Amino acid sequence: MACVAALPILAAGCSFTPAPVHPVPPVPAQYAGTDADAPSIARIGWQDFFRDPELRRLIATALDQNRDLRSAAARVDEARGAWRIEGAPLYPSLDAAAGGTRGRARLDLPKLGTLDYDVKQVTAQLSAGWEIDFWGRLHALNQAARDTYLATEAARRAVATDLVAQVANGYLLEREYGERVALAARTIETREQSLHILQRRYDVGSGSRLEVTQAETLLGQAQVAMEALVQDRAVNRNALALLVGQPVTIAEGPLALAATAAPVDLPVGLPSELLVDRPDIVAAEYRLRAAEANIGAARAAFLPNIALTGAFGWASTDLEGLFDHGSQVWSFSPQIRLPLFNAGRLKANLDVTRARQIGAVAQYEKAIQGAFRDVSDALVRRQQLARQISATEAVRDTLRERARLAQLRFDNGRSAYLEVLDAQRALFDTDQALVQLRRAHLASGVALYAALGGGFAPALPAQHNPQSQGEAR
C-alpha cells in the first residue's frame, strides 16, 4: 500500500477521499425554441435588471431588513465557525498550566512507627499536543466543513435571489391592483352617470323601471369589484411589508412595462450555465463535495492514529524555589493507537457516509432538473402570456366598439338597456383581465430571471467554484 510505504515521510500524507463525482447534467443541451447565442440574463445584476427606482428601493431595503435573509446569514456565520473548529486540530495545541497542592500524609515504617509529614508541591508547565494527520482524516473533516460552509453561503444567495423575486412580484401586484382600482373607479363614475340619466328619464315618464334596476345592478357589480380589489391590495401590501421587513409606502403609478422590467427579449443562455448561476445548484454540489470528504475521513478512521504530546516546566515544594536551578521537569509521550474492536461502529459510520454521498448525488441531479424545469416553465408562460395579451387586446377593442354601438342603439330607441348592460359588463371584465395578463407577463420575466439564478451569481471567488475544484483534484 502506497501510504504504508511512505510511512517515514510524515509530511507527505495520504488521502482516502474518493475522486469527485461529476454527474452528466440530466437535461437537454439547449432550451426548446431559444437562441443560445446571447449571454444569459442571469449575469445581469438586479440593480440593472429592474429599472423602476421605487422597486429598486424596496429590494435594497428587503435585502437589509428581511428576517429570513438575516437567519440565512447567521447560518453562514455558524458554518464558517464550524469550519474553523474543524481546522484547528491540524495544528499543534499549546497550553500553559500552573498549580499547587498541599496536604498531610501518614507513612507507617517498620520498627519506626508512624510518620506524619506535610506534602507541598508547586508546578508551572507548558504542554503541547499534535495529532499527525498522516492518513488525511483531519484534512478530510476540514474539507467537509469548508464545503458545508460554502454550501451554506450559496444557500444564503438562493434565499436572497428568491427574496428579490418575491419583492418584485409583490410590487407588480401592487401596481396591478392600483391600475385595476383606478379602472373600477372610472367605471363606477361612468355607471353612476348612466344611472342618473336613466333615473331622470324614468322620472319624466320616458324610461322604464327595468332599465333603472339594470343600471343599478351594473353599478353595484362595479362597486363590489372595487371593494374586493381594495381588500386584495391591502393583503398584498401586508405581505410586501413582511418581505421588506418594515411598513412600505408606495407612490401611486401605472403598471408601466418599460419602467418596471427589462426589455421583452430576455436571453437564457445554455442549461449548462445553470451549474454556476443557480445558487441552489452550487449549494447542492458543495454538499456533494462535503459528503465525499466525509467518506475520506471515515476510511481514515480505520488506520492507526499517531499523536505526540509533551510537556516542559518546573516543580518545587515551595513557590520561592519554583524556578531555581534543577527544578525543571519534562515529559514526551508519542502514542500510536489502532482500532481493533468497536462493535462495527467504524464500518457503520463508513456505510452512513457512503449512503449520504449517494443521496447527495441524487439531490444534485434533482436540483439541476428542477432548475431546468423552472426555466422551461417560465419560458412557456412568457410566450403564451404574450399571445394571450395580443388576443385579449383585440377582444377588448371589439368589445369597446360593441359597447359604443349598443349605447347608440339604446339612445336611438332601437334596443333595450340590457344590451348596453351586457356589453359594458363584458368590457369591464376584459379590461380587468388585460391588466392581470400584463402583470403576469412582467412576473414571468421576473420568474425567468430568478430561475436562471440571476442577481447574485457568481458571488464567490473563482477558486470557490466547485466545478473548478473538482477539476483541480
Q: CA 272, CA 27: separation in Å to the nearest integer?
A: 9
pLDDT for 248 beyond 80: yes
pLDDT of the residue at 468: 41
Q: Which residue has the higher pLDDT, 416 or 298?
A: 298
For residue 294, the surrounding DSSP H or E stretch is helix 279-300
SS3 content of the chain, % helix, strand, coil (to 5): 65, 15, 25
Predicted local confidence at residue 146, as pLDDT: 94
pLDDT of residue 111 exceeding 70, the answer is no
Domain membership flag for residue 370: yes
CA-to-CA distance for 45 and 461, rounded, in angstroms? 16
pLDDT tens for each residue of 186-236: 889 888 888 888 888 888 887 788 888 988 988 998 899 999 999 999 999
336 occurs within a structural domain? no
Does a structural domain hold residue 250? yes
287 vs 292: CA distance, rounded Å: 9
Task: Over range 63-70, report the average pLDDT.
Answer: 91
pLDDT for the residue 261: 43
Confidence of residue 259 (pLDDT cuts 50, 70, 90): very low
310 part of a folded domain: no
Mean pLDDT of the chain: 82
Q: What is the pLDDT of residue 133?
A: 84
* 3-state SS class at 108: strand
- Residue 394: which residues within 8 A CB-CB, separation 6 or more? none
State the first-to-last Cα distance of the chain, in angstroms, to the nearest integer.
21
Grade residue 319 by pLDDT with cuts at 50, 70 and 90: low
Q: How many domains does the chain have?
A: 1
Q: In this structure, is residue 365 part of a structural domain?
A: yes
Domain around 450: 2-91+133-302+345-472
List, for residues 17-64, the tens digit of each pLDDT value: 888 877 777 777 777 766 666 777 888 888 888 888 888 899 999 999
Instruction: Say if CB 425 and CB 251 are below 8 A apart.
Output: no
Domain-located, residue 333: no
Q: Is the pLDDT of residue 340 over 60?
A: yes
Cell numbers describing residue 250 = 408606495
In this predicted model, what pLDDT tens digit does every residue of 397-445 receive, in sequence order? 999 999 899 888 888 878 777 788 888 888 988 998 998 998 999 999 9
Let me know how many helices (H) and strands (E) the chain has, helices first.
Answer: 12, 4
Q: Are the C-beta atoms of 447 and 439 separated by less than 8 Å?
A: no
- On whether the CB atoms of residues 101 and 120 are closer than 8 A, the answer is yes
- Determine the Cα–Cα distance for residues 188 and 218; give it in Å rounded to an integer: 9
* Rounded Cα–Cα distance for residues 181 and 254 (Å): 11
Distance, CA of 336 to CA of 168 (rounded, Å): 61
Is 419 inside a domain boundary?
A: yes
In one-letter notation, the amino acid at residue 434 is L
- Alpha carbon 163 to its chain's center: 8
DSSP β-bridge partners for residue 204: none
Neighbour tally for 150: CB within 10 Å: 26
Residues 6 or more apart whose Cβ sits within 8 Å of residue 351:
none
CATH number for position 407: 1.20.1600.10
Mean pLDDT of 140-154: 93
pLDDT at 6: 42
pTM of the complete model: 0.81
Mind giving me the DSSP string for 7-49?
TT-TTT----PPPPP-PPPSS-SS-TT---SSPPGGGSBHHHH
Distance separating alpha carbons of residues 374 and 410, to the nearest angstrom: 51
Name the packing angle between helices 53-65 and 137-203 (round to 10°). Answer: 130
